[in-house]
Amino acid sequence: MTTQTAENAPAPGREPRIIAFCCQYCAYSAADMAGSMRLQYPPEVEIVLIPCTGRFDVILALRALEKGADGVYVAGCLEGNCHFLDGNIRARKRVNYLKKELESVGIDPGRLEMYNLSASQGPRFAEIAAEFYGRVRDLGPLHKNP
């Protein structure tokens, strides 16, 4: 039975849609582990597998937001541990760049985030998902008419 907490309490309006771009070497495996460990995390988080966060492109996040997502996050390996050396570092730069762009059109930059974790951090994956879900839910829907 799931315990009702402030973080997983239903939002007053519609539930936020969240897209998580997860690196297959870390965050995606961590999500698997979270599942194996029967850890609860908000079902509104939809995971998109990417081969490395270096594959993350700002247009992917923009399209997600345009098509109805209320928040997007990118989850990659711990800094220094990228399978492709610096994909996660480059992804963070792109995320920071897009945060500024979103701010320039009046969108809260908090709707986009970059996280780093390792494949063995299943509980951390669930924690990130809940934390980001809570943040986006507090921000409310991105579009008046999605």
Which residue stretch of 6-14, 26-34, 55-63, 77-85 sits at the interface with another protein (rule: CB under 8 A)? 55-63
Quote the tokens at residue 124.
């951390």
Q: CA 23, CA 101: separation in Å to the nearest integer? A: 24
How many degrees, rounded to 5, is the angle at CA 125 between CA 120 and CA 126?
A: 125
Residue selected from 45, 74, 102, 114 as contacting another protein according to rule CB under 8 A: 102
Query: Should residue 59 be labelled a site residue for another protein when binding is judged by CB under 8 A?
Result: yes
Binding of residue 107 to another protein (CB under 8 A): yes
Closest CB to another protein among residues 39, 62? 62
Q: Does 58 bind another protein (CB under 8 A)?
A: yes
Q: Does 39 bind another protein (CB under 8 A)?
A: no
In 8-140, where does DSSP find H-type helix? 27-36, 58-66, 87-104, 122-139
- Binder among 2, 3, 4, 145 for another protein (CB under 8 A): 145
* Of positions 19, 30, 65, 91, contacts another protein by CB under 8 A: 65
Task: Please say whether the beta carbons of 29 and 117 come within 8 A.
Answer: no
Sheet holding 18-23, edge to edge: 45-50, 18-23, 71-76, 112-116
Amino acid at 130: A
Task: Enumerate binding residues for another protein (CB under 8 A).
Answer: 58-59, 62-63, 65-66, 101-102, 104-107, 142-145
